[in-house]
Amino acid sequence: MLEDGKIFRGVNIGCSGETVGEVVFNTSMVGYQEILTDPSSREQIIVMTYPQIGNYGINYKDAESCRIQAGGLVVKEYFDYYSNCRAEDSLGSYLKKYNIIGLEDIDTRQLTGHIRLKGSMKGIISTETDNKDKLKEKLDSYPSIVNRDLVKDVTCSKPYVYNPERNDCKYIVLVMDFGVKKTVLDCLDREGFKLIVVPASMSSEEILKYNPDGVFLSNGPGDPSAVSYAALTIKKLIGKKPIFGICLGHQLLATALGAKTYKLKSSHHGNNSPVKNLETGKVEITSHNHSFAVDKESLKNIKGAKYKITHINLNDNTIEGLKYENINAYSVQYHPEWKSGLHESEYIFNKFAGLMKENKKI
């Protein structure tokens, strides 16, 4: 049942019970495991637009975090029988392992069309009751993701070194963990960085004690305006260290400099979104998992930083990349590291190495 009272009936997969979250549609054809375990999916009920889900099973090595982060899953046709030489488990069993509720045999095309028309909204999946009044009461009492800090639920509890066996690192990068994906850390690791991952609440003074060569602002869930403490920390780091941010990190860097964000109508979720690189003129097919965006008009409020829009979304012209030349910082809204999609945007990680190299010469 959706927030506006619209009801879809289906067949239960995974666990039984009830779950509430923001209902969003994801246009990816593959990568359901990565999507479910992405911390940016926290408290989302994910509707897969591709009709057949589960046919290649689950491989535990492909998880983006230690568990399923999404609140629920809705599909058209679920395959309990899977065919994949790497598979270790079925999707249904995986959902049950983490107590996640799902539905199949839903008209996901109609559901997606409804969300596109009306916008993303709260929803509830229930195997316990079909009483509309009871379901509506539970939905109304559940808080929106707007103005809620979801980062505190997915950030690490204490600092740690990623891949501590590395001893050939040129640069030390401090990763502010707002819900970082494993593949993001793998991409940074491949660039030859020593990665120190720290909680989102760490102060700028504590961060600077590590004396990193650069600071990376990770992806993460929810409303950036609710993570104001992180924006204040970033503001104190600006100009002191090279900074690179993606997804939520992109939004927080912009807000730290004075810009604002807003909630998208039906959000951006999928691994097939066209983004134009305004510096090269090339179009990149990219991965998205966000419900908020940087307000273009609010960029005029930025003080002390010479900004330039570097990427735009060709579907709706929202900002997908920003560069701040005089403070050694840049960011992108999309996920350049998508494991089960195209890899044509991974060059963005190499730019970070170049930024730190130039900063060392100053």
Q: Which pLDDT belongs to residue 344? A: 72
Told to judge if 268 belongs to the known catalytic residues of this protein, a careful annotator would answer no
- The one-letter code for the residue type at 261 is T
Task: Give pLDDT < 70 ranges for the chain.
Answer: 338-342, 361-362
| Residues forming beta bridges with residue 271, ordered by sequence position | none
Helix-strand-coil percent breakdown of the chain, rounded to 5? 30, 30, 40
| Calpha distance 110→8 (Å, rounded) | 10
CATH numbers and ranges of domains, the chain: 11-141 (3.50.30.20), 151-361 (3.40.50.880)
Find the helix packing angle between 248-256 and 228-237, rounded to 10°. 70
- The one-letter code for the residue type at 52 is Q
- The answer to whether the beta carbons of residues 218 and 261 sit under 8 Å apart is no
Identify the three-state secondary structure at position 352: helix
Give per-residue burial for 322-341: e unless 16+ CB within 10 Å, then b.
bbbeebbbbbbbbbbbbbbb
- The answer to whether the beta carbons of residues 120 and 42 sit under 8 Å apart is no
Told to judge if 114 belongs to the known catalytic residues of this protein, a careful annotator would answer no
Whole-prediction pTM = 0.95
The pair phi, psi for residue 167, each rounded to 5°, is -135, 15
| Calpha distance 67→153 (Å, rounded) | 12
Question: Which among 220, 223, 362 has a CA at the least distance from the CA of 289?
Answer: 220
Query: What is the bridge-based pairing of β-strands 261-277 and 283-294?
Result: antiparallel
Give just the sign of the alpha carbon dihedral 166, 171, 176, 179: negative
Q: Which pLDDT belongs to residue 338? A: 66
DSSP characters over 181-227: -HHHHHHHHHTTEEEEEEETT--HHHHHHT--SEEEE----S-GGGG
271-328 pLDDT per residue, tens: 889 999 999 999 999 999 999 999 999 999 998 899 999 999 999 999 999 999 899 9
H or E stretch covering 265? strand 261-277
| Calpha distance 110→359 (Å, rounded) | 52
Which member of 3, 22, 43, 337 is catalytic? 337
Q: Which pLDDT belongs to residue 303? A: 86
Q: Which pLDDT belongs to residue 341? A: 60
Q: Which pLDDT belongs to residue 361? A: 66
Which member of 64, 247, 250, 288 is catalytic? 247
H or E stretch covering 138? helix 132-141
| Calpha distance 166→70 (Å, rounded) | 32
